[in-house]
Chain A
């Protein structure tokens, strides 16, 4: 989980979620933590264009998108754009 979403998931760096595709996984995740839904998915249920999801370090947008398959040992990283250099 990216730092900006951590508080919404109880401060955890890593959380468990179930599903055999990224879409199922995110549905399960946003069911458990409704506060993060608006960050990840748009109104049509697609991935927001300022958020990337990586399955085993590969960007799903350039693969099968939300239909990308995941297995029990997959690592999924959710990453919204960060601007910060800090002034």
Chain B
């Protein structure tokens, strides 16, 4: 084999591929059918790029092009700084079976010189890149998805059993703003399952304890604390501005109030509930799927309401359910996958079984069939505080005793 000079090699490659002028590339960009790929190194890309382009450094081109451009027939416009690396990249893509690949002659330098549109990308800083690298590596999330999470706001109702894993995973995931509403203080009996809190923080308001735990895991996030209960008077002020609500509350009045308010505010609610060895998760997405009242138009009477009776719960159960709630919240924020809208996933820890129940919107729902402007909030009787009357179910009587 003869020795080939780099210059001759480049010339040979350029003879095999197609180049386009910046003029033609601008037309392709405007027509929006072509995929623009920036094959420069990351630090070059950070100085400025062609809006709409996806950054895949040339070294990662073979491994990442399929998720960026799954359709091999689609036109691909590659660019680098001057048009040489993109020429090599174009050859690589045609070897991978891409049929319509062009390289921008003169690259980003000429594009910029000719006064064409470019901008500096928003990007993760070095520490964030390291922290979230396992997210960035997933094509469905990537740097863009991570930036979206950092811009997102999630409200947790309750910093208890369900709120604990949800708060920790959402904080770890880099959800930029996490609100927590809880009026309680940490009690020793919480620590069997509420992994946000610690022995040293017994007596501390749960929202303060939660903030310490979340910030220790990820100082990058902002925690907004509400040491109060949700009531009809404050509910809209508290929830407005959040993208997703994770409902891990322990009582029916809050469940119903939150449902009604989330319909008015148009915020999806990731609902979780637990009892003894069983739990369930679903997503109430306003006006797209059923709401809580489509499923349960009315709360049960006090003597039949299990949560108030403290029937007990296996400590790891909220870990499973709360973690699934966090998963659904992240999916909703990123707009990926199939959230549990119109589906209720039930988990039985003793049987180690999952069952999926299907639910539909009720056209006669007392709340979501109405115009949101007509929805009025009700403060349901705080029946949890009432002494339980003689109940039909022995379980409840025993638990109260």
Contact = CB atoms under 8 A, between A and B. Distances in A.
A59 to B, nearest CB: 6
A42 B268 CA distance: 32
B275 A84 contact: yes
Interface stretch (A15-23, A32-40, A64-72): A32-40
A82 to B, nearest CB: 4
Contacts of B82: none
Contacts of B123: none
Contacts of B350: 13
A37 B250 CA distance: 26
A21 B30 CA distance: 62
A39 B394 CA distance: 12
A8 interface: yes
Contacts of B318: 85-86
Interface string B358-392: 11101000000000000000000000000000001
A3 interface: yes
B395 A57 contact: no
Interface string A48-69: 1111101001110110000000
22 contacts: A3-B306, A3-B395, A4-B395, A8-B392, A8-B395, A13-B351, A35-B393, A48-B300, A49-B296, A49-B297, A49-B298, A50-B299, A57-B357, A59-B358, A81-B300, A83-B273, A83-B305, A83-B307, A84-B275, A85-B158, A85-B307, A86-B160
Interface of B: 158, 160-163, 184, 190, 193, 247-252, 255, 272-278, 280, 295-300, 304-308, 310-311, 313, 318, 348, 350-351, 355-360, 362, 392-396, 398
A36 B320 CA distance: 29
A29 interface: no
Contacts of A35: 392-394
A79 B355 CA distance: 12
A85 B161 contact: yes
Contacts of A5: 393, 395
Contacts of B300: 48, 50-51, 80-81
A74 interface: no
A37 B304 CA distance: 12
A24 B214 CA distance: 52
B341 to A, nearest CB: 15
A57 B276 CA distance: 22
A59 B297 contact: no
A25 interface: no
Nearest to A4: B306
Contacts of B394: 7-8, 35
Interface residues of A, number: 34
**What 8 A-B pairs are tightest by C-beta distance, nearest first?**
A83-B307, A84-B307, A50-B300, A81-B296, A85-B248, A85-B250, A49-B298, A7-B395
A39 B303 CA distance: 10
A66 B350 CA distance: 30
B355 to A, nearest CB: 7
A29 B307 CA distance: 25
Given A8-B393, A50-B304, A59 B250 contact: no
B161 A86 contact: yes
Considering residues B158, B190, B392, which has the most beta carbons from chain A within 10 angstroms of its beta carbon? B392
Contacts of A82: 273-275, 280, 306-307
Given A50-B296, A54-B357, A85-B249, A4 B275 contact: yes
A58 to B, nearest CB: 5
A48 B160 CA distance: 30
Contacts of A57: 355-358
Considering residues B296, B297, B318, which has the most beta carbons from chain A within 10 angstroms of its beta carbon? B296
A52 B295 CA distance: 7
A55 to B, nearest CB: 11
A80 B395 CA distance: 14
Contacts of B305: 83
A59 B273 contact: no
B306 A84 contact: yes
Contacts of A61: 362
Given A7-B394, A52-B295, A83-B273, 12 more contacts: A4-B275, A4-B395, A6-B395, A8-B392, A8-B395, A35-B393, A62-B359, A82-B306, A83-B305, A84-B311, A85-B163, A86-B307
A4 B311 contact: yes
A11 to B, nearest CB: 10
B299 A39 contact: no
Contact of B273 (A8, A38, A84): A84
